[in-house]
Amino acid sequence: GENVGLHLPTLSVQEGDNSIINCAYSNSASDYFIWYKQESGKGPQFIIDIRSNMDKRQGQRVTVLLNKTVKHLSLQIAATQPGDSAVYFCAEAFNNAGNMLTFGGGTRLMVKP
């Protein structure tokens, strides 16, 4: 699948547990952060985003937390399901920058039944 060869951090969780995926971003001036999910054989799929003037945003079963002090972003998935198994990427962007995204290296989430 995608990213074979890239030494991705891997998180292995039991089905039903909560998952926390972390991302350290590079630019303290970034205005906007996005989480993408990439399943095997598919392209990245938007999950949730957050603006830099927020520190938390919730979606359906997912929560993104932003800590600008240490340039850290996390994605929390509640009640992890087998369908959540994928590679998760964070991306950062600036306002007024023409949709330019800078992606992180990704984390592989494996859900054990």
Partner 1 sequence: ETGVTQTPRHLVMGMTNKKSLKCEQHLGHNAMYWYKQSAKKPLELMFVYNFKEQTENNSVPSRFSPECPNSSHLFLHLHTLQPEDSALYLCASSQEVALAGPPDTQYFGPGTRLTVL
Positions in the binding site for partner 1 (CB under 8 A): 2-6, 31-32, 34, 41-46, 49, 51, 89, 93, 95-101, 103-106
Dmax of the chain from CA atoms? 44
Nearest CB to partner 1, comparing residues 19 and 44: 44
Give phi and psi for 41, each to the nearest 5: 80, 10
Shortest Cβ 64–partner 1 spacing (Å): 14
In what helix (H) or strand (E) does residue 100 lie, and over which residues does it extend? none
Contact of 30 with 92, CB cutoff 8 Å: yes
Nearest CB to partner 1, comparing residues 6 and 20: 6
Beta strands in the chain (DSSP E): 10-14, 19-24, 32-38, 45-51, 56-58, 62-67, 72-77, 86-93, 102-103, 107-112
Shortest Cβ 47–partner 1 spacing (Å): 11
Nearest CB to partner 1, comparing residues 41 and 113: 41
Nearest CB to partner 1, comparing residues 45 and 81: 45
Shortest Cβ 74–partner 1 spacing (Å): 18
